[in-house]
Each structure stands twice: as C-alpha cells, then as structure tokens.
C-alpha cells in the first residue's frame, strides 16, 4: 500500500484554517470558565467514565480511559481535583507524560447523556495520603492532582451522531473485535508468540 504524503495540500497556518472554517460564535467562546462550579461538580460526581489526555515533552500524545464508581474523583475546591490512580498494567503512560509535561485534558461522560464535560489544567503526580484518602474502596497510593484552568460543556453532536447510547444501533457481541485476539496478534507482530 502506498504511503500518502499528508503535507501535500496541508493547512499550515492559523489564518488559512480560519479562512476554511470561520470563527466560533461568542457564546462558544464565553461558555468556558476557569472554576469547577456547581454544575461541573454535579457532572463529575455522576460520571463513571472519563478520558485523560496527556503528552510528553516531545508532544507524543496519549489518551487513557479511566473508569471508576460515580463520585470517584475528589473535588478539593473550585480550582482543584484529585484523580485516583488504580492498579493497572504498570505502563503508566499518562503519569510518565505528566512528569515531562504537566498539561492535561479530561473528557467526562455520563451514560445516556449526549453532552460531555471538558476540563483542562496542570497535572501533578501525587502521593499525599491525606489527599488520596476517602476516595471509595481502598485508598490509592498514587494519584493525579489537577489545577483546573478551563471547564466547559461540549456540544452533543458527536454522541448524537454516533448513537452510542442507543442499544438498537449496537453490533451483535459475536461480531465485535476480540480484545484477546488483537492483543495476541500485536504481540506476534513484535515476535512474541503465546498460545491460547
């Protein structure tokens, strides 16, 4: 398969991009706030799933899904929150990125709701037991402290168009990709063979 050179015909300036897409309405700009207000607190408290976006010093990005019980995020005040880091596969890509580049983005989802809450800020890997206590279940030994810089509700278009919450659009389970098959195939590409 031929490799495409994306630089041919690429948009290379902000001015060119604005000529193509135009400018956002004033309301779209002014919906952004710099505090965790009562609406954001309620949204976060009801969200069992969010996505954490980070990048390292070179700009290499990572987006990590994080699932926990609703109310699993500790909101310290109007400007700070704490995310528990639960035991996982020990790759800790997000944490390694935060050590190099503290900028992080979060997207919170609530099942059945088409809008999402976006929060951006500066992240710190923390081990402060007092901050990590009382987060539901066993207290994590490590977490992410976030100094919030931007909060805003994101429009429902993507989730509405995808019909993600409509069971009648879901594929039959038998036709879905197998996580195990993908995992084993990717190991095989890297020369590791494991029998099922």
Q: How far is CA 179 from CA 3, 71, 90, 176, in A?
A: 28, 28, 18, 9
Homologous superfamily, domain 27-164? Electron Transport, Fmn-binding Protein; Chain A (2.30.110.10)
Q: Are 144 and 130 in contact (CB under 8 A)?
A: no
Q: How confident is the model over 164-175, as pLDDT tens digits?
A: 999 999 999 899
Q: How confident is the model over 84-132, as pLDDT tens digits?
A: 998 888 999 999 999 999 999 999 999 999 999 999 999 999 999 999 9
Q: Are 104 and 121 in contact (CB under 8 A)?
A: yes
Computed over every residue of the chain, the mean pLDDT equals 93
The answer to whether residue 17 scores a pLDDT higher than 80 is yes
Q: How far apart are CA 181 and CA 177, in angstroms?
A: 8
- The pLDDT score that the predictor gives to residue 109 is 96
- Cα angle: 30, vertex 34, 38; to 5 degrees: 95
Q: How confident is the model over 26-50, as pLDDT tens digits?
A: 988 899 999 999 999 999 999 999 9
Which residue(s) pair with 141 in the sheet?
none
DSSP annotation string for 97-163:
HHHH--EEEEEEE-TT---EEEEEEEEEEE--HHHHSSSSSSPPS-EEEEEEEEEEEEPSHHHHHHT
This prediction has a pTM of 0.91
């Amino acid at each position: 398969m031929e490799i495409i050179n994306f630089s041919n015909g690429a948009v290379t300036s902000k001015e060119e991009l604005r000529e193509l897409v135009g400018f956002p309405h004033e309301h779209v700009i002014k919906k952004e706030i710099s505090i965790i207000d009562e609406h954001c607190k309620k949204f976060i408290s009801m969200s069992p799933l969010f996505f954490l976006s980070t990048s390292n010093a070179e700009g290499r990005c990572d987006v990590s899904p994080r699932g926990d019980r609703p109310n699993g995020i500790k909101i310290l005040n109007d400007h700070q929150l704490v995310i528990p880091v639960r035991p996982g596969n020990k790759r800790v890509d997000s944490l390694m990125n935060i050590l190099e580049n503290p900028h992080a983005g979060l997207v919170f989802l609530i099942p059945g709701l088409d809008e999402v809450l976006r929060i951006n800020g500066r992240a710190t890997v923390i081990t402060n037991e007092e901050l990590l206590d009382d987060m539901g279940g066993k207290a994590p030994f490590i977490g992410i402290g976030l100094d919030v810089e931007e909060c805003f509700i994101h429009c429902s278009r993507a989730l509405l168009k995808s019909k993600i919450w409509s069971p009648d659009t879901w594929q039959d389970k038998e036709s879905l990709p197998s996580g195990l098959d993908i995992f084993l195939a990717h190991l095989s590409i890297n020369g590791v063979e494991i029998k099922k």
